[in-house]
Amino acid sequence: MRNRLEEYTPAVVSNKTKQAGEVRVRWPWTEPKAWTERMLTALEKGVKGGKWFSLIDKVYSPAVLRSAFGCVKANNGAPGVDRQTIEMFEKRLDDNLAHLSSQLQKGTYRPQAIRRTYIPKPGSSEKRPLGIPTVRDRVVQTAVRAVIEPIFEHDFAEQSYGFRPQRGCKDALTLGGWFEYFKHSHWTTFRPLDSWIRMRLRSILRKRSKRKGRGRGRDHQRWTNAYFAKQGLFSLTVAHAKASQSSMR
């Protein structure tokens, strides 16, 4: 019979267990069914030869494919060339995912053609071409992305924002993003750049208002510098001043 000390002594958590939990915090957007904590740790430390092998088994994993379908369903996209909707695919979800998994494992999977459609282009009478894959292909594409994206994400520059998880082009216009591109420039270039950028933004807003030409005249009162700052666009001049203050502390 155990004594009371043994009965109430809490389990000791090893440093290895703590580190495993911490690595997941640094990669919160990754798919847990594809990327284990051990794999994420290896990603950060680097793998032998700098190459990853045998990742296809992660792609055709039923759990990863099911999670990928959840993402496809959440996007609520239109059907592809086969006219199969998300609801139709979901009615036989287990069979469809098992078939995809088998095809991927055997190497017999072949993507279908892309359905071409056209959507309105904001601020213009023109239309933008859009390619719509089938639901089954979108599931596979999402699974592939879940498996390989962390590998490429690890090598991206900190100041890169386009098409990255939990980041976007708008984030690049904030103090932490936009200024990163120009922080090594001479301080005298910031004001002309600020002026040119706001002129281009006013020109875009003019075009959306069905008006021609570049931003000028009353546009400065209609869309003031304060307006752009409120939208999250920090001027390079202000960003440089704040960065200089931080470095002096």
Output the DSSP codes for 190-206: HHHHHHHHHHHHHHHHH
> What pLDDT was estimated at residue 21?
66
> What are the residue ranges in the chain where pLDDT is below 50?
1-18, 175
Chain segment 158-167, per-residue pLDDT in tens: 767 677 787 7
> What pLDDT was estimated at residue 198?
82
Rounded to an integer, what distance in angstroms lies between the CA atom of residue 5 and that of residue 176? 52
> What pLDDT was estimated at residue 17?
43
